[in-house]
Amino acid sequence: MNHILLAWKNVLRNRRRSFVTIFIAAVGCASILIAGGFALWTYDILIEGASREFGHITVADKSFFAKEEETPMQFGMQQNNRVAEYLEKNPEVATLLPRIHYSGLISNGDKSLIFLGTGAELAREAAVRKYFLVVRDGAIPQGKPSQLPQILLGVALARNLGAKVGSQLTLIGTTAATGGINAVDVEVAALVSTGWSEVDKRLVFSDIQTAQNLLMTDKISTLSVFMHRLDKVPAMLETLAAYDGEHAYMPWWEQAQYYHSVRALYNRIFGLLGMIIIALVLFSVINTLAMAVVERTREIGTLRALGAHPREIIAQFVREGGIIGLAGVMIGNLVAAAVIWTLPYLRLQMPPPPGRSEGYPLLVAGSPTLTLVTNAVIVLLCMGAAWAVSRRAASKPIVDALGHV
């Protein structure tokens, strides 16, 4: 305890210089925690978006992911099958969502455009996608329509067609069995947006029955599995592969190419930023302690003349560096916590990324692991810097140290 108290008093010898160094360490700590927390929050949002779009696990025919379909529903599967019955009874599974992926033309009578459609139970589709599918006008159908089948239409596609809620359109597609042309009249129930401008130019959601009627099939393309807990997905994959080998099982991370691209980019950007911040903290501490060592060279010589071992002197400087680092990370942690707590109330928005039509909230995720690692790195850097600058002075001959001016 006496050694720690002595180190603290030595830090306070030149308060202005020590406080500036502590301030730099605090800013560095807070910067790493805030930047890293922003990246982690972005990863979490991308993971949630990908898992809600594809499902935590996608079940399909074995050829569905490996080959391109030459005809619609070539690699479709029966909706009621062995694996679906098993998943419905599994307590780890929150929702099963059969889907049909199809394409064709959508027409208002005067103009026809290409669409990319998804057939699913519309209310459940909107529920699992949550805020990743925003209703701009109208409402999600909750039951079977009394007249025409109802669809959800992308806002950009609706604009290009001059369609609005209540408009009657025609879906035109190729049948699965014969390759002929079929058409189904539909009514627009709601205009929706995914936030991706290119997706919204082609987006159509219909119920499964409408998609099957258009394609003249009783099959589905995929079965999306939504689980209660994300960390249970790997174990479920192994269980499904052992239970039923007739289908292919693809987890969300193998389909989320955008997530992997953003993560790789952010890892490089924030990794470089972290290295720059750490270098600034290191050089600042080295400068402060080097000046302290020079000023106390005669004191070091006196301690050596009184019998102090060089490693004891080095240890004292290391303790001083540790105190500077600890003070810096404590302040940095408080600043980062204040930012994390305050941002949700400020409701700040980031501009839309390339390819998107909507921005997203500026938030920062708190991570105990990131906090512990950052704190440990900064404290160890400060102690390492103190060790590096004090070695030469501690091993200097006593006579030279006493005669230092």
Tens digits of per-residue pLDDT, 25-34? 899 999 999 9
**Cα–Cα distances in angstroms (integers) from residue 45 to residues 17, 245, 284, 334, in the given order:** 42, 32, 36, 25
Give a yes or no: residue 175 inside a domain. Answer: yes
- What are the structure tokens assigned to 113, written together? 């455009």
Q: Domain count of the chain? A: 2
Q: Which residue has the tokens 């030149």?
A: 14
Is the pLDDT at 146 greater than 70, yes or no? no
Do 12 and 141 reside in the same domain of the chain? no
**Helix (H) or strand (E) run with residue 22 in it:** helix 15-54
* pLDDT, tens digit (0-9, with 9 covering 90-100), for 337-387: 999 999 999 988 888 877 777 778 889 999 999 999 999 999 998 888 888
Q: Single out the residue in 245, 269, 287 at which a domain terminates.
A: 245
Give a yes or no: residue 56 inside a domain. Answer: no
Give me the percent of the chain exceeding a pLDDT of 70: 94
pLDDT band at 41 (very low <50, low <70, confident <90, very high): very high
Give a yes or no: residue 54 inside a domain. Answer: no
Do 208 and 344 reside in the same domain of the chain? no
Do 67 and 198 reside in the same domain of the chain? yes
Q: What is the mean pLDDT of the chain?
A: 87
Is the pLDDT at 214 greater than 80, yes or no? yes
Question: Which comes out higher in pLDDT, residue 389 or 217?
Answer: 217
Give a yes or no: residue 36 inside a domain. Answer: yes
Mean pLDDT of the 51-75 span: 90
Q: Most confidently modeled of 184-188, 284-288, 381-385? A: 184-188
Residue 229: Cβ within 10 Å count: 11
Do 39 and 73 reside in the same domain of the chain? no
Do 238 and 272 reside in the same domain of the chain? no
Q: What is the pLDDT of residue 202?
A: 94
Q: Single out the residue in 190, 219, 245 at which a domain terminates.
A: 245
Give a yes or no: residue 356 inside a domain. Answer: yes
CA distance 314 to 304: 12
b/e per residue 41-57 (b: at least 16 CB within 10 A): bbbebbbbbbbbbbbbb
Do 104 and 213 reside in the same domain of the chain? yes
Q: What is the pLDDT of residue 164?
A: 93
Of 223, 199, 150, the closest CA to residue 49 belongs to 199
Q: What is the pLDDT of residue 396?
A: 64
* Residue range(s) defining the domain that contains residue 341: 2-49+259-402
CA atoms within 13 A of residue 319's CA, in its CB half-sphere: 16
Give a yes or no: residue 233 inside a domain. Answer: yes
Identify the DSSP state of 333. H
Q: Single out the residue in 245, 269, 290 at which a domain terminates.
A: 245
Question: Which comes out higher in pLDDT, residue 191 or 67?
Answer: 191
pLDDT band at 399 (very low <50, low <70, confident <90, very high): low
Give me the percent of the chain exceeding a pLDDT of 90: 50
Do 71 and 207 reside in the same domain of the chain? yes
Give yes or no for a contact between 327 and 383, defined as CB atoms under 8 angstroms apart: no
Do 269 and 394 reside in the same domain of the chain? yes
* pLDDT, tens digit (0-9, with 9 covering 90-100), for 196-213: 888 999 999 999 999 999
Lowest mean pLDDT among 52-66, 124-138, 141-155, 168-182: 141-155
Mean pLDDT of the 186-195 span: 93
Do 180 and 277 reside in the same domain of the chain? no
Is the pLDDT at 1 greater than 60, yes or no? no
Do 79 and 125 reside in the same domain of the chain? yes
Name the pairing type of β-strands 181-193 and 150-154: parallel
* pLDDT, tens digit (0-9, with 9 covering 90-100), for 83-139: 888 898 899 999 999 999 999 999 998 899 999 999 999 999 999 998 889 999 999
Do 239 and 123 reside in the same domain of the chain? yes
Which residues, listed in sequence order, are joined to residue 187 by a DSSP beta bridge?
Answer: 150, 168
pLDDT band at 10 (very low <50, low <70, confident <90, very high): confident
Do 71 and 131 reside in the same domain of the chain? yes
Give a yes or no: residue 252 inside a domain. Answer: no
Phi, psi (degrees; rounded to nearest 5) at 162: 70, 30
pLDDT band at 167 (very low <50, low <70, confident <90, very high): very high
